[in-house]
Amino acid sequence: MLSRVLIANRGEIARRVIRACRALGVHAIAVYSEPDRDWPHVRDADEAVAIGPAPARESYLDMGRLLEAARASGAEAVHPGYGFLSENWRFARACEEAGLVWIGPPWAVIRDMGDKVGARRLMASAGVPVVPGSEGVVETVDAAREAAAHVGYPVFLKAAAGGGGIGMARVADESALGVAFATAQRRSQAAFGTAALFVERYLMVIPSVSGESGPVFGMPELAPTALFLGLFLAAYALWARTFPMISPRLAEITLEREVHHIEIEVYDHEDTDRDFVHEGDLEK
């Protein structure tokens, strides 16, 4: 059991991790930028370390400062929360190289799965069904138009990098593609430093939740998830209790794919969620 964990985040995200640490009897170490010294997460923690000035790039996004804070405070592990450096594989690797436990997926998994185009290829090569879409990045509107025509409208334009729905746009038909493409590229470039986009068919989603020892829920079910303009509104429920339109056979198939996905990615930690899609009659 870990005894000292540094939370490389702030605000409510950090407070949630601090509460979990307290429940487990783990010493929680907060970090803060100069203007955040009186924030609730600093008061809640067992210990707090200053990491720099207000700009995030000089504090919460500064890997060197965070690693120094972990070393100075005697932390054994780093919990990134979400946002900031939580999906930065270089930071995860740096933590491991510094002898710290990274509370999250292994850095190689973050690297490989952070590139959505590469992740699609990896899953497809392993026999895991993927949403119909472009073979790779679409460099131009014309390339996006060709891919969308092939997979069928409505489609999603998605940023190849990053996450959180940034750089994602739902396109109902060809007339809306040009504006959506320019907008998605601009947002992706601003957020992730790359304007690379790819195309996927717009589909409803069936979520699954898993841990390192296998699925926590044999088949959670969606009510359904709305994916629109990058907003994920997921309603998770136990399969046996609500919305019984999904057949046991579909649940079995989805579970098989979930387990196979975990084996490919080799996640080491609990509470990883993933979405699977299904086309056609949900009762068959």
- 89-102 tens-digit pLDDT: 999 999 999 999 99
pLDDT digits (tens, 9 = 90+) for 171-206: 999 999 999 999 999 998 887 788 999 999 987 555
Quick check: helix, strand or coil at residue 158? strand
pTM across the whole model: 0.62
The answer for residues whose C-beta is within 8 angstroms of residue 124's C-beta and 6 or more apart is 130
Summarize the confidence of residues 65-69 as an average pLDDT: 98
User: Locate tokens 């409208």: which residue?
Assistant: 153
| CATH 3.40.50.20 residue window(s) in the chain | 4-104
Residue 223 has pLDDT above 80, yes or no: no
The domain 4-104 is classified under which CATH number: 1.10.10.10, 3.90.180.10, 3.40.50.20, 3.10.20.30? 3.40.50.20
Distance CA(4)–CA(12), nearest Å, equals 20
Nearest CA-CA partner of 164 in 192, 139, 196: 192
pLDDT digits (tens, 9 = 90+) for 28-41: 999 999 999 999 99
* 275 phi and psi angles, rounded to 5 deg: -120, 140
Q: Taking the C-alpha atoms of 245, 246, 247 and 248 in order, what is their torsion angle to the nearest 10 degrees?
A: -130
Distance CA(198)–CA(3), nearest Å, equals 43
* Partners of residue 171 on adjacent β-strands: 155
Distance CA(13)–CA(86), nearest Å, equals 12
| CATH 3.30.1490.20 residue window(s) in the chain | 132-201
Domain 132-201 -> CATH class: alpha beta
